[in-house]
Amino acid sequence: MTTRPQMWVGIDVGKQAHHACAVDETGKTVFSQKFGNDQASIETLIARAGQAAQQVRWAIDLTSPMALLLITVLLAADQAVTYVPGRVVNTMAHGFRGEGKTDAKDAKVIAETARMRRDLGQVTMPDELVVGLTQLTSYRTDLMSDWVAGINRLRALLGSIFPTLEAAFDFSNRTPLILVAGMCTPAEICAAGIDGVTTYLTDNGAWKPGIVKAAAAAVDAAGRQSLALPGEADTAMLVKRIARKLLDLDREIKDTDKLITARFREHPWAHIIESLPGMGPGLGAEFLVGTGGDLANFASAGRLASYAGLVPVPRDSGRVSGNLHRPKRYNRRMRRVFYMAALSSLRYENGPSRRFYDRKRGERQIHTQALLALARRLVDVLWALLRDGREFSVGNPAPVAAAA
């Protein structure tokens, strides 16, 4: 094989195997092969690329945990790795001949994109703490999806046999879940009475200040329905089963939140991030995951805001100018972080966030526009805090030195 001075290798990342395609300076394919997602196969590919070119640049389309082994082996071998986002790959694919989609073609597109573009971000060695937070936050997201689906399923089932009770409680709280995990039909609640329901809730760890009110609401709902609806027995069994699962899931979510908080506060940025109004451990952990715990890829606060989708992009044509619109390519997780931080910061009635929001509302901006403007402002503030290593002080518009 003739040695070439420079070569780009695009890798279409897969779960069990990847596909690599190498191109030279002219775009000619040097080799294209499938290889396993294991250390030995990746090292063999690196050796093959090293024999084919003096300088090899690698490009991948995923930086998720699925590609962690690939990234680690490449970086451990001192290889330069570029990240080509999936949306870019999908767009670039339309510039190549044919409509077919294969792993080999995707790898070729990734390699060609890396060869032609010089503005793509470089992949660095993932931080141990950030990788852990990535897994924890993803796990929590899955738990919350299960929680929402479970609540909706429980309400649908309960509403089919006891609509009055379903409407009487907020089942995102533990006390109503404890109630329907033991008794969820009019006959069961009427038979227990207020004393029986109160005793049951007390014995099963319901929130003590709300037990009396919950028992009274349940008995009142039962008194307004004397009929047993069709399928009540089997439906009640399912309601109780789902309620018990949701109680366990609620505990799992809370334990995961505690773990995320503890791990997040081990990061050197934790105190700075939490000092910003509206940014708690949960959003702070999401911020670290979104940025990789490193601002090296963001040359300015504007770049970070653009990454979060908080900078409008122009759509000018001919004599039409100044036409701005919401971007399509941005990090949804990062946008949510700053949007929720802006929303949470409004609880400080006399704080700088509330004053900024009120000023934007006074400029006849609607709630969403004012909130997005505040989110953009928070990006600037957080950028300055992290750059200077300082914490935010509500009483002082300028960041103050962080405590030792």
Give the pLDDT of the chain (404 residues) as one tens digit per residue: 556 788 999 999 998 999 999 999 989 999 999 999 999 999 999 999 999 988 999 999 988 888 999 999 999 999 999 999 888 888 888 888 877 889 999 999 999 999 998 888 888 888 899 999 999 999 999 999 999 999 999 999 999 999 999 999 999 999 999 999 999 999 999 999 999 999 999 999 999 999 999 999 999 999 999 999 999 999 999 999 999 999 999 999 999 999 999 999 999 999 999 999 999 999 999 999 998 888 877 888 999 999 999 988 887 777 777 777 778 878 899 999 999 999 999 988 888 999 999 999 999 999 999 999 999 999 999 999 998 887 776 554 444 333 32
- Rounded-to-integer distance, Cα 111 and Cα 108, Å: 5
The residues facing 317 across adjacent strands are 320
Helix (H) or strand (E) holding 397: strand 396-401
Give the end-to-end CA distance of the chain in Å, rounded to a whole number.
Answer: 59
* CA–CA separation, 1 and 24 (whole Å): 13
In the block, residue with structure tokens 């930086």: 63
What pTM, to 2 d.p., does this model score? 0.83
What was the pLDDT predicted at 100?
Answer: 81
Is 323 in a helix, a strand, or coil? coil
How many angstroms separate the CA atoms of 346 and 160, rounded?
39
Structural tokens at position 306:
């653009």
Secondary structure (3-state) at 39: helix
Give the span between the Cα atoms of 373 and 309, in whole angstroms: 12
